[in-house]
Amino acid sequence: MSNPPPPNPASATTSSGSRPRPPRVLVVEDDDGPREFLSMELHAAGFLVAQAADGEEGLEELLLFAPDVVVLDLMLPKLNGFDVARAARNVERKESKRRTAIVAVTALSSEALRAEALAAGCDALLVKPVRATQVVDQVRLLAARSDDPASGDAR
């Protein structure tokens, strides 16, 4: 489910007269309340947002929506977040697609979990409970990094 982007004064008209596309964010979370809340907060921050309620749906949306950043719960039904991240990275390698940034969100915290999330292809890990501002700030950081040609994450 995608929401249209709100008017964003930061999206100034370019010299060619066209507006830049707002960054796309996919929120994959099985709990309806947090998924809706994070989606609303990201939308209000100027992002184009899609949602998925489980790992399989998340992977499908990732391929169809082509987000710049994925906010990914690691403990999901049908296909866990680790497997979603690995599958996303495999598709990118096979199809030479641009790299989508992945923010893992989990209630579990340990160095082993952090290492596993990074090994699966996540770029950052936030431990629940998270504030919406933490997620928005992390998404902004990763979206800006993916726009920077010097970062190596060319689109």
β-pairing, 24-28 with 48-52? parallel
Find tokens 């499908």 and name the residue.
60
Residue with tokens 């992977």: 59
Confidence check: pLDDT of 41 > 60: yes
Q: Which long-range contacts (CB under 8 A, 24 or more apart) does 112-118 make?
A: 113/74, 116/82, 117/74, 117/81, 117/82, 117/85
pLDDT digit string (tens) for 69-102? 999 999 999 999 999 999 999 988 888 778 899 9
Summarised one tens digit per residue, pLDDT across range 104-151 is 999 888 889 989 999 999 999 999 999 999 999 999 999 998 665 444
Question: pLDDT band at residue 2, thresholds of 50, 70 and 90?
Answer: very low
Q: Residue 31: what pLDDT?
A: 96
Helices (H), the chain: 32-44, 55-65, 81-95, 111-120, 132-147
| Per-residue DSSP letter, 129 | S
Q: Is the peptide bond before 9 cis (omega within 30 degrees of 0)?
A: no
- Classify 24-146 by CATH class: alpha beta
Give the separation between CA 61 and CA 65, rounded to whole angstroms.
5
Strand 101-106 with 69-73, pairing: parallel
Q: Radius of gyration over alpha carbons of the chain, in Å?
A: 15
